Amino acid sequence: MGITVFVTRDFTHMSEIAADIVIKKSIEILKRKKKAVLGLATGNSPTGLYKHFAKAANEGKFDSGCIRSFNLDEYVGLPGDNIQQRVIHPESYAYFMIQELFSLLHKKFQETRVPYGSLIDQKILIKELKENKKDWELEGTDAGKSIKIKAKPKSKYLAWIRKEILDGYVRKIKAAGGIDLQIIGVGGRGHVAFHESGIPFKGSSVLLVKLDDNTIANAVADGHFRTKADSPQYAISMGAELVYRAKTVVLLANGARKAESVTSSLLGNVTPEIPISYSQQYSKQGGELIYVLDLIAAEGLLANTKKLKDRDIILNKMA
C-alpha cells in the first residue's frame, strides 16, 4: 500500500496528526469487522497521541470496548521480590500503559497484553544461562544481542521461557487475528522496541534480548533506576519481523537524535544495523507504512525530496 510521510511542526503537532490517523484507522477497522487489534509502544513519542486517542474514545467516536492491544516490549529484571511487584514497578511498561492510556479510558479495552517479562526471575535466568550454555546462542553484531533458545533445551526454565513467554505471546497475537495497526517509536540507532541494532531480521518474532551496557548505564543516568544492579539486564520484545506483520504501521519520531536513522530507513539499504529499515521490505510486500515526524526528525528526508519521489514515497508537509 506504499509509504506516506507526514512532516509536522513539533511534538504537539506530531501527536495531533498521528492521533487523527490512528483514530480514523481504528474507526474504519471497527466498521469493517467490529473489532480491532492495536499494537502499542511505550516511550515519550506516543504519549500525546494516547491522550488524544483516549479523549476521542471517551467522546464516543469509537467503541474502545471492542479493541484488543498488544504492547511491543517489557523489561526482565525489574526490582521486586515477586511478579506483582515487578508488574507495578513505576518503570515497568505495564505501569506506563496504565498511566498514559488505559487509566484515561472510560470504557476499557476488551483485552490488553504486555510481553510477559515480569514473569521471569532475572536471577534464575542468569543462573540457567550460565549453567546451560549449549541451550542457547547469541545473535547480533552489536552490544545488544538476542538470546536464541534452542528447540529442545535441557534447562526446564529456558524451555518454559521459549514455549510460554516468547512463543506464547506470538500465539496470543495469532489467536486475536493479528495486529491491524501497530504504533511504534524509534531509537537513536534505528531500533524498534528492544530489537537492537545488529540483531538479524530472520526469525525475529518475540525476542529475549540481553541489553547492552550503554542502555543500562543510560537508564541509571536518566534516573530510571538507582544503580546498575537495580536496572534490568534483559527484555522481552517483539522483533522487526513480527512488528511489520501488522496491516498498518505508524511510526512516530521527533528530535535530532532520530533524524539520521529515519532518513536511512527510507533512503538507505535494508539492513539489521537499522532495524526500522525493514519497513522498506514491508511496504513492498503490501503493508501500509506511515511516518509522522517533526521538522527536526524529518530534516534528512526534506533535503532529499527527489529521492523520496523516485521511490514513490508520498511526502505531506503539514508544518
Going by pLDDT thresholds of 50, 70 and 90, the confidence category of residue 191 is: very high
Residue 125, in any domain of the structure: no
Residue type, 102: F
Q: What is the pLDDT of residue 1?
A: 77
Residue 77, in any domain of the structure: yes
Residue 214, in any domain of the structure: no
Residue 69, in any domain of the structure: yes
Q: What is the pLDDT of residue 58?
A: 98
Residue 211, in any domain of the structure: no
Residue 224, in any domain of the structure: no
Q: What is the pLDDT of residue 279?
A: 95
Residue 267, in any domain of the structure: yes
Give strand ranges (E) for 188-240: 206-210, 234-238
Q: What is the pLDDT of residue 148?
A: 97
pTM: 0.96
Q: What is the mean pLDDT of residues 50-70?
A: 98
Round the average pLDDT of the chain to a whole number and report it: 95
What number of residues does the chain have? 319
In tens, the pLDDT along 17-34 reads 999 999 999 999 999 999
Domain total in the chain:
1
Q: What is the pLDDT of residue 230?
A: 84
Cα–Cα distances in Å, from 20 out to 85, 95, 180?
36, 25, 16
Q: What is the pLDDT of residue 8?
A: 98
Contacts of 292 (CB under 8 A, 6+ apart): 6, 8, 14, 17, 18, 21, 250, 251, 252, 253
What are the percentages of helix, strand and coil residues in the chain, rounded to 5? Answer: 40, 20, 35
In tens, the pLDDT along 89-105 reads 999 999 999 999 999 99
CATH number of domain containing 180: 3.40.50.1360
- Structural domain of 48: 2-120+174-200+237-317
Residue 26, in any domain of the structure: yes
Helical H segments across the chain, by residue range:
11-33, 47-58, 83-87, 93-100, 122-131, 156-160, 167-175, 213-221, 240-243, 256-267, 278-284, 299-302, 305-310
Q: What is the pLDDT of residue 217?
A: 82
pLDDT at 219 over 90: no
Q: Which three cell numbers stand for residue 4?
A: 506516506
CA–CA dist 195, 139 (Å, integer):
11
Q: What is the pLDDT of residue 36?
A: 98
